[in-house]
């Protein structure tokens, strides 16, 4: 659970032919079209030798500003919900939920916050470069490197196809790689606000991070 949490809090395979550091305008344009999002995901975690150490599947939802929900279905249920003020991490197998303040720096610079938070924070928290891919039409990829030395990640990459976010790749500060692939994507669905509210189940211990 701790490893999964670190990947999400810190939350594309592409063949680069050239890259350039530049303005985040195109990325902001793409993300500005995403006010809310729902998708099924497949997450694959690899160690420093490239060996798969975990594969999980589930459903994610996000809504700007600052709200997202990550429901892991397999291999075991886990739930992460950000309500705009707090981040709740629920592990049913431990009957425990950990509460994190969303104002913490490591959360503010996380990929999940990047997708759900205000776009004016992009240039503030990340150095952004755009990549050009070979033989892939209607595709755009971006690499984001945190400016802060205290970040729990080395970089995060986002890949868009036909204007939709279809995959994400994360390299954390332990040189472990995580790939996220999104399917059954729905852009700007009308999501029930209750989806981003966590109610502590009876008998579950609350731990303040």
Per-residue confidence in pLDDT tens, the chain, 209 aa: 444 444 444 342 222 222 334 446 788 788 878 888 999 999 998 888 888 988 999 999 988 877 889 899 999 999 989 888 888 989 999 999 999 887 654 444 455 555 655 566 666 778 888 875 544 557 888 888 888 765 677 888 888 888 888 998 888 888 888 899 999 999 999 999 999 999 999 999 999 97
Distance CA 97, CA 57 (A): 20
Copy the structure tokens of residue 64: 């700007």
Q: Give the model's pLDDT for residue 203.
A: 94
Q: Which domains does the chain have, with CATH numbers?
A: 2-197 (2.50.20.10)
Q: Is the dihedral of CA 32, 33, 37, 42 positive or negative?
A: negative
Q: Give the model's pLDDT for residue 188.
A: 92
Q: Give the model's pLDDT for residue 114.
A: 59
Distance CA 21, CA 142 (A): 10
Distance CA 42, CA 48 (A): 20
Contact of 121 with 8, CB cutoff 8 Å: no
Chain mean position to CA 111: 4
Contact of 133 with 16, CB cutoff 8 Å: yes
DSSP code per residue over 194-208: GGG---PPTTPEEEE
CA dihedral 56, 129, 32, 152 (to 10 degrees): 40
C-alpha pair distances (Å), 160 with each of 34, 74, 86, 164, 169: 12, 25, 29, 5, 12
H-helix or E-strand spanning residue 107: helix 105-108
């Amino acid at each position: 659970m701790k490893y999964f949490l670190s990947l999400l809090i810190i939350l594309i395979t592409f063949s680069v032919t050239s890259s350039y550091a530049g303005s985040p305008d195109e990325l902001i344009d793409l993300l500005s079209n995403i006010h809310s999002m729902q998708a099924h995901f497949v997450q694959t975690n690899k160690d420093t030798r490239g060996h798969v150490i975990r594969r999980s599947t589930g459903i994610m939802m996000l809504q700007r500003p600052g709200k997202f929900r990550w429901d892991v279905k397999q291999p075991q249920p886990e739930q992460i919900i950000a309500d705009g003020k707090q981040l709740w991490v629920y592990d049913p197998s431990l009957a425990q939920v950990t509460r994190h303040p969303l104002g913490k720096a490591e959360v503010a610079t996380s990929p999940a916050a990047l997708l759900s938070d205000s776009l004016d924070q992009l240039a503030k928290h990340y150095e952004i470069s755009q990549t050009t891919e070979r033989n892939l039409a209607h595709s755009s990829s971006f690499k984001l490197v945190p400016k802060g030395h205290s970040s729990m990640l080395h970089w995060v990459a986002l890949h868009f196809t036909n204007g939709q976010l279809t995959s994400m790749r994360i390299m954390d500060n332990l040189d472990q790689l995580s790939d996220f692939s999104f399917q059954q994507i729905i852009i700007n669905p009308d999501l029930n606000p209750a989806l981003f509210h966590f109610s502590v189940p009876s008998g579950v211990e609350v731990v303040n991070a």
